[in-house]
């Protein structure tokens, strides 16, 4: 937590183990920090000059960076100065060149769509039944022994 509070705009923290001791009340070495925090993925990278880089800080704090954004320019400059990787927000031209395909519907959306389809089919069945009833009544009224009309036809 100390590192997050004390790092610069690019997630660079000037290594200060005394400050860390003050907050944690536990003496800890850089090797212990790196081992503990990087167990399943690299969260902290040691940089020359007793600095560490919080690798996920920029992505969490800013998302993809845009050179058009004044606050992002400072972050881009700092990361470039230290030769650290970062993701730029695509330009409108890039977005047009590689359009994002719509995502698959969520299970809830699929369920709602199925319910709408079911309701639509039920409504269509009611309309078909009403048409058939009308045809049946017409055939009965005109005493026809054979069906002259089919529901949905010739009406």
pLDDT per residue over 142-155, tens digit each?
765 455 555 555 54
What is the rounded CA–CA span in Å between residue 40 and residue 55? Answer: 13
Q: Are 4 and 17 in contact (CB under 8 A)?
A: no
Give me the pLDDT at residue 65, please: 87
Rounded-to-integer distance, Cα 38 and Cα 141, Å: 86
Q: What is the pLDDT of residues 102-123, one digit of tens each?
A: 677 788 888 889 999 999 999 9
Residue with tokens 């319910």: 115
Instruction: Please name which of 30, 57, 29 lies closest in space to residue 43, comparing C-alpha atoms.
Output: 57
Longest Cα–Cα distance of the chain, Å, equals 103
Give me the pLDDT at residue 12, please. 92
pLDDT score recorded for residue 95: 67
The pair phi, psi for residue 70, each rounded to 5°, is -55, -45
Tokens 């002259």 map to which residue?
148
In 3D space, the residue among 52, 81, 86, 50 whose CA is nearest the CA of residue 66 turns out to be 86
Residue 126 has a CB neighbour count (10 Å cut-off) of: 10
Q: Tokens representing 67?
A: 């050179």
Cβ–Cβ under 8 Å, residues 135 and 151: yes
Residue 155: predicted pLDDT: 47
- Residue segments in the chain with a per-residue pLDDT below the cut of 50: 145, 155
């Amino acid at each position: 937590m100390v590192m997050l509070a004390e790092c610069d705009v690019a997630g660079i923290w000037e290594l200060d183990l005394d400050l860390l001791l003050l907050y944690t009340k536990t003496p800890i070495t850089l090797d212990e920090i790196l081992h503990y925090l990087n167990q399943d993925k690299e969260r902290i990278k040691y940089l020359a000059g007793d600095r560490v880089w919080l690798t996920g800080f920029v992505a969490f704090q800013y998302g993809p960076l845009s050179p058009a954004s004044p606050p992002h320019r400072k972050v881009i400059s700092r990361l470039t100065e230290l030769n650290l990787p970062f993701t730029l927000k695509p330009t409108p031209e890039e977005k047009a060149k590689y359009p994002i395909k719509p995502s698959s519907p969520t299970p809830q959306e699929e369920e709602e769509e199925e319910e709408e389809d079911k309701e639509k089919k039920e409504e269509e069945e009611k309309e078909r039944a009403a048409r058939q009833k009308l045809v049946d009544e017409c055939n009965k009224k005109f005493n026809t022994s054979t069906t002259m009309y089919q529901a949905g036809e010739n009406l």
